[in-house]
Amino acid sequence: MTAPATPAPVLDVWNLTTSFRIEGTWYPAVRGISFALAPNETLALVGESGCGKSMTALSILGLVPTANGRVEADGIMFEGRDLARLSDEEMREVRGNGISMIFQEPMTSLNPVLTIGFQVTEALIYHQNLSRAEAEREALALLDLVKIPSAKSRFREYPHQFSGGMRQRVMIAMALACRPKVILADEPTTALDVTIQAQILALLNELKAETGMSMIFITHNLGVVAALADRVAVMYAGDIVEIASVGELFARPTHPYTEALLRSIPRSDRDTAELHTIPGAVPPIHRMPKGCRFAARCPLAQDICRAMDPPLEPLDPESPHAVRCWVRGGHDLAALTEDANV
């Protein structure tokens, strides 16, 4: 009996690098990352601020400012088209229609002088060619879908008349307006209290099940990842340093950075005196160290870590669990050190 065929990825990113020019020199903020997103899958991008998570999403959608930024990739494949090769006009057709984004701060993403109803309706008129009346009926249905109470009476209200949680629901409704295949959710619960955060996460899970959409969920909160994601890509200083299924990552965190992130999660069964922090900070893009970018903060770092950049490789040939680490990646350190004259 043959195994069922693996469905084709809805989004396939190959060797994505995003660079910025500082004093005449280009420095990569996201460096050579690759991943595939399966239909109806949630992939979490995790890491500290400044690790390149949001920049990855902006690069996929072609939203990196071209005045001092550039995006290069071997391919960003979506529905048979390479997004990295599309014109601005072609990308406008993709944004909001095939791929939508939920930004982390709804008050700065919503236009304060336009009603909520107008802003949700706008995408439907632009992408779906609906009349104003048809678009308003669909927009009301979307506001009901994201569980905004009294949606009909609130349709003509402005963003400042909504709470933070309700504004985020409006952003989700706007992202879902054209039934996209992929949602990029950039820390959509960061500005919300924990009760509202739980409601938004439950809503996203429910909508994903109902619509069959795929999602890239960007966060620094590993507790959120456990509740929402199917797979996790841990990012550090513009690199993916570990990628695995959510169960595998929590059961067998392999990269020292992943271990440090998991240790730093507050737990109800752990005394506050035992809270762990990660010493140091993510280096700025124009001062990246040679070798492994985490070496200066890593308790396991060897001489080779400071001299050579490790590749992202599977832990074994059959494993989808991959790690970028000389010490934990199953490498022969003695042979490598001798070859590199370290």
- What does the domain layout of the chain look like in residue ranges? 11-98+180-272, 106-177
What does the pLDDT read at residue 70? 95
What does the pLDDT read at residue 185? 93
More confident residue, 26 or 274: 26
Least confident of 67-71, 174-178, 188-192, 233-237: 188-192
User: What is the rounded average pLDDT of the residues 98-116?
Assistant: 87
Residue 110: CB atoms within 10 Å: 20
Banded model confidence at residue 177, pLDDT cuts 50, 70, 90: confident
User: What is the rounded average pLDDT of the residues 102-123?
Assistant: 87
User: What is the rounded average pLDDT of the residues 31-39?
Assistant: 95
What does the pLDDT read at residue 145? 85
Least confident of 4-8, 48-52, 136-140, 328-332: 4-8
**CA gap 241, 233 in Å, rounded:** 8
What does the pLDDT read at residue 83? 95
Name the percent of the chain in helix, strand, coil, to the closest 5.
40, 20, 40
* pLDDT surpasses 90 at 115: yes
Query: HSE-up of 240 (CA within 13 Å, CB side)?
Result: 26
User: What is the rounded average pLDDT of the residues 58-70?
Assistant: 93
Q: What is the mean pLDDT of the chain?
A: 88
**CA gap 61, 76 in Å, rounded:** 10
SS3 call for 133:
helix
Helices 164-176, 116-128: axis angle to 10 degrees equals 10
Least confident of 142-146, 255-259, 292-296: 142-146
What does the pLDDT read at residue 335? 65
* pLDDT surpasses 50 at 1: no
What does the pLDDT read at residue 129? 86
* pLDDT surpasses 60 at 340: no
More confident residue, 105 or 155: 155
Banded model confidence at residue 31, pLDDT cuts 50, 70, 90: very high
What does the pLDDT read at residue 191? 66
Amino acid at 306: R
What does the pLDDT read at residue 336? 64
**CA gap 260, 252 in Å, rounded:** 13
pLDDT above 70 as % of the chain: 92
Helices 132-145, 116-128: axis angle to 10 degrees equals 120
* Domain 11-98+180-272: assigned CATH number: 3.40.50.300
pLDDT in tens, 39-54: 999 999 999 988 999 9
> Which tokens is 186 given?
């950039």
Banded model confidence at residue 27, pLDDT cuts 50, 70, 90: very high
DSSP character at residue 55: H
What does the pLDDT read at residue 274? 66
Banded model confidence at residue 187, pLDDT cuts 50, 70, 90: confident
Residue 284: CB atoms within 10 Å: 12
pLDDT in tens, 128-175: 888 999 999 999 998 988 888 899 999 999 999 998 888 988 988 888
User: What is the rounded average pLDDT of the residues 81-103?
Assistant: 91
> Which tokens is 340 given?
């590199």
More confident residue, 269 or 158: 158
* pLDDT surpasses 70 at 339: no
